[in-house]
Amino acid sequence: MPALRPLLSSAVVRATGAATTRTTAAARPFSTTPRAAAGGGSHESQYDPPTGWLWGVKPGEKYVNEGWENLMFYGFGGSLVVFTIAYAFKPDTSIQTWALEEARRRLEAEGILEDPHPEVKK
C-alpha cells in the first residue's frame, strides 16, 4: 500500500484542483528503462539454424570438444560408480529385516527354534 500512496494522494489533489506540483510525481513512470530498449529490437532467432548433419558436424570433419564434456562424462560416470558401490554396501535398516531377526532370537531363546550355529556362543 505504501507504493500506491503517492498515486492516490496526487489523484485527490488533481480532483480537488489544489497544487499541481504533486501531479508530476504520479505521472513519473515506475521504471527508468526506456520502452524502446526494453523490447530488445531484434526479432532474429537466437539459435543456429538446422544444418542436417549429426551434431552439426559435416562428414570428414573432426568433432571438437567444447571443454565441459570431459568433466561431465568423467564426473557423472565416476559419481555414478561411487554411488552404485555405496548403495550396494549400505546396511539393511528395514523394519522387516529387524523384525525377522528379533523373532528368530526370541524363538531360539524359548527353545522353539534350534540355533543354526551351535558352535558359536555369545
Q: Any idea where the domains of the chain sit in the sequence?
A: 92-122
pLDDT for 35 equals 57
Residue 116: pLDDT band (50, 70, 90) is confident
Vertex 114 angle, CA 113 and 117, to 5°: 135
Q: Which of 13-27, 36-50, 108-122 has the lowest mean pLDDT?
A: 13-27
List Cα–Cα distances, 20 to 2, 6, 17, in angstroms: 21, 13, 8
Average pLDDT of every residue of the chain: 77
Q: Which ranges of the chain would DSSP assign to H, the alpha helix?
A: 5-16, 23-27, 35-38, 68-88, 95-110
pLDDT for 44 equals 79
User: Which set of grid coordinates corresponds to residue 29?
Assistant: 513512470
Is the pTM higher than 0.75? The answer reads: no
Count of beta carbons in the 10 Å neighbourhood of residue 55: 6
